[in-house]
Amino acid sequence: MPPRSQNQQSQPSRSGYDIPIKTLLFDRKYLWFSATVFFISEIFVNVTVIEKVKYTEIDWKAYMQEVEGVINGTYDYMQLKGDTGPLVYPAGFVYIFMALYHATDAGTNIKLAQYIFMGLYLMNLIMVFKIYMRTKKIPPYVFFFMCCASYRVHSIYVLRLFNDPVAMYFLYVAICLFMDKRWTVGCFFFSIAVSIKMNILLFAPALLILLLTQFGFWWTIPRLAVCALVQLGLAWPFLQANPEGYILRSFEISRQFFYKWTVNWRLIPEELFLNRHFQLGLLALHLLVLFLFAVHRWNRRNGGIFALLKAPTLPEKSVLNENYIVATLFTSNFVGMAFSRTLHYQFYVWYFHTLPYLLWSTDYSDMIRLLILGVIELCWNTYPSTPLSSGALHFCHMAILIGLWRSKEERRAAAARSQISQDAKDE
């Protein structure tokens, strides 16, 4: 065998699997690798939490008592209640937790319930990973902060067994379907999510704009009809028993929350927290900011929301890309979170998995983005909340909102979408 030359000897051997660590951490092409690693890690993390950390009873027993009333034949929502008060969730919640009631021996097999919620956590991760791998918004290393790093989120799933994660799972399924351009089926799953907990309605303004953009005014109506029919079908037994009671209880937006559980408003006195004028002021700010995004940031290429309402015909070609769909939905929900009249600890999952996307949609440096993520996590893990933690949370929320509004990347993306739209018309 002839001797190798000096150049040949100095070159290290490389195989297809010899990828530098830096590439795996920062190259968005390898998001799949990071997702795989953290998904496997999460199996061990969740099992460890379930087996080593004590379960804490908060709402699970009340959930079981509420659905037990339905199992026993009571369909009047005014008569359904548990230890924590009346049933205040829509009909989809009842069916999901009836299934869990039967699966867990009337809710007494807590360990089995925890492992079911672990499965829900992992299925939710699959949906979230799918969204991020298709949009390629974040570098792979950020998955660490969206997975193993949050004790609060693991607690919400497998130590508290709240209904919020169930609703969010169906929401992420719907978003994945929207990205696949399967709008009608996506609207079905979106409505399923709303039927479990009404916080999903925070995404509704963005969904309406997306549907109007995609289909025009008249062809949006059938998709909205799908959402309405799902609600009607699920609620039918309860509407027959007491329609007014069902509507008042399942979508009760006027109920007061306990000050002791608030995460975001500890910096004000309880009297102001409970003041209706203060709450209406927050609602007005919420609607104002949504309006500003709808007019000046969403669908700018076609003249904004007012132009959409004047477009009754079905577009010949879709102009919505995946990042536009996700960014619009996530921003709409985040605006609602930022101006919420209260945030309780389980509400963290309402936007936890969307935060990296939103932050990497701003023009901030990675260091600032990670700092904001870290401060938000610290605020949600401060129990009980303090004026400082609430103030820091509001500061982070405002920083994200300002970053989204001023994002040069979003403006460049809007210009690119406009060009795509024009090219489609020219073909």
Q: What is the pLDDT of residues 87-144, one digit of tens each?
A: 999 999 999 999 999 999 999 999 999 999 999 999 999 999 999 999 999 999 999 9
> What is the DSSP secondary-structure string of 69-89?
HHHTT---GGG-EETTEE--S
Greater pLDDT, 420 or 401: 401
Length of the chain: 427
Burial class (CB in 10 A: 0-12, 13-18, 19+), 412: exposed
At residue 307, the pLDDT reads 63
Bridge partners, residue 81, by sequence: 86
* Cβ-proximal residues to 143 (8 Å cutoff; 6+ apart), any chain: 31, 34, 35, 38, 129, 132
Per-residue pLDDT band at 411 (split at 50, 70, 90): low
CB 104 within 8 A of CB 113: yes
Mean pLDDT over 289-299 rounds to 88
What one-letter code names the amino acid at 119?
Answer: G
Q: Is the pLDDT of residue 188 over 50?
A: yes
What is the residue type of 297?
R
CA angle 357, 382, 385 (to 5 degrees): 105
Task: Summarize the confidence of residues 240-268 as an average pLDDT.
Answer: 89
AA identity, residue 81: K
pLDDT digits (tens, 9 = 90+) for 232-252: 999 999 999 999 999 988 887
- Angle among Cα 262, 268, 273 to the nearest 5 degrees reads 60
Q: How confident is the model at residue 309 (pLDDT cuts 50, 70, 90)?
A: low
Span 171-192, mean pLDDT? 97
Which tens digits make up the pLDDT trace of 19-44?
A: 789 899 999 999 999 999 999 999 99
Over residues 52-74, the mean pLDDT reads 96
Q: In one letter, which amino acid is 241?
A: A
Are 42 and 153 in contact by the 8 Å Cβ rule? The answer is no
For residue 195, give the 3-state DSSP assignment.
coil
The token duo for 125 is 């991760």
> What would the two tokens of residue 292 be?
């500003």
What's the gap between Cα 423 and its chain centre?
A: 33
207 has a pLDDT exceeding 70: yes
pLDDT exceeds cutoff 50 at 417: no
Can you give the pLDDT at residue 318? 52
| Stretch 245-261: mean pLDDT | 84
Share of the chain above pLDDT 70, in %: 86
- Judged against a pLDDT cut of 90, whether residue 65 lies above it is answered with yes
Instruction: Assess contact for 195 and 234: CB atoms under 8 A.
Output: yes
In angstroms, the CA 159 to CA 111 distance is 10
- Asked whether the bond before 384 is cis by omega within 30 degrees of 0, the reply is yes
Whole-number percent of the chain with pLDDT over 90: 78
> Of 197, 340, 168, 372, whose CA–CA distance to 262 is shortest?
340
Contacts 24+ apart (CB under 8 A), 221-228: 222/184, 223/183, 223/184, 223/187, 224/187, 226/184, 226/187, 226/188, 226/191, 227/187, 227/188, 227/190, 227/191, 227/194, 228/191
Q: Are 377 and 393 contacting, i.e. CB atoms less than 8 angstroms apart?
A: no
Tens of pLDDT, residue by residue over 327-375, are: 999 999 999 999 999 999 999 999 999 999 999 999 999 999 999 999 9
Burial of 111 (0-12, 13-18, 19+ CB in 10 A): exposed
Q: Parse the chain into domains and list their residue ranges.
A: 28-253+260-418
Question: Any bridge partners for residue 86, and if so which?
Answer: 81
Give me the pLDDT at residue 306, please: 63
What mean pLDDT do residues 252-271 have?
88
Q: Is the pLDDT of residue 299 over 90?
A: no
Rounded to an integer, the average pLDDT of 190-194 is 98
- pTM equals 0.90
d(CA 299, CA 293): 9
Residue tagged 């007061």 (tokens): 256
CA diameter of the chain: 91
Whole-number average pLDDT of the chain: 89
